[in-house]
Amino acid sequence: MRTIKNIVVHCSATRPEADIGAAEIRRWHVEDNGWRDVGYHYIIRRDGRVEAGRPVEQPGAHVAGHNADSLGLCLVGGLDANGRSAAEYAPAQWAALRRLLGRLKERFPEADILGHRDFPGVAKDCPCFDVRRWLAGEGNA
């Protein structure tokens, strides 16, 4: 098993009404980007279902320069109805994210949990909330 230094939270940059999951994101990444598979290891749908993406044993394609030692989780959403950055995730997603992160921290206790936007050189707001503050109970949900 590879060493995991970071668990990275992302968003799909879709509006609240977009009911998508691993199959749709896989199609975007493979057909549109030319990648060999979906870039994320887990996708959390609007209803809170967690879907498997790329196998954990394989590096993802989600943070340039950090894929070899990280896991990528994607929350479906991240935009409001007008297409602006917003952490308007469903309550079931917040709960699923907390459970998934708990399981992953048990498996990879040394890993830091970050948002995509926390990496140097990332100009995106992804996942549209401060992951560290949220984990500390100061955040959005």
Q: What is the pLDDT of residue 128?
A: 96
Q: Does residue 10 have an active-site annotation?
A: yes
Determine the straight-line distance between the first and last CA of the chain, rounded to whole angstroms.
33
Catalytically annotated residue among 29, 42, 66, 126 = 126
Catalytically annotated residue among 41, 62, 66, 116 = 116
Q: Does residue 41 have an active-site annotation?
A: no
Domain-embedded: residue 13: yes
Domain-embedded: residue 141: no
Structure tokens at 17: 């009404």
The partner residues of 43 in beta bridges, in order of sequence, read 51, 74
Q: What is the pLDDT of residue 79?
A: 95
Full strand arrangement of the beta sheet holding 112-115: 50-52, 42-44, 70-75, 6-11, 112-115
| Number of domains the chain contains | 1
Q: What is the CATH number of the domain that holds 67?
A: 3.40.80.10
Distances (CA, A) of 96 to 16, 24, 89: 17, 20, 11
Q: What is the pLDDT of residue 117?
A: 97
Peptide bond between residue 127 and the one before it cis (omega within 30 degrees of 0): yes
Residue whose pair of structure tokens reads 């909330």 in the numeric block: 129
Q: Does residue 40 have an active-site annotation?
A: yes
Q: Does residue 89 have an active-site annotation?
A: no
* Average pLDDT taken over every residue of the chain: 94
Distances (CA, A) of 35 to 27, 28, 32, 108: 10, 9, 8, 26
Domain-embedded: residue 94: yes
Domain-embedded: residue 1: no
pTM of the model: 0.94
Q: What is the pLDDT of residue 137?
A: 87
Strands 6-11 and 42-44, bridge-based pairing: unpaired
Reference 88, options 18, 21, 8; nearest CA is 18
Per-10-residue mean pLDDT of the chain, 141 residues long, equals 94 94 95 93 97 96 95 97 94 97 97 96 94 84 53
Domain limits for position 96: 6-135
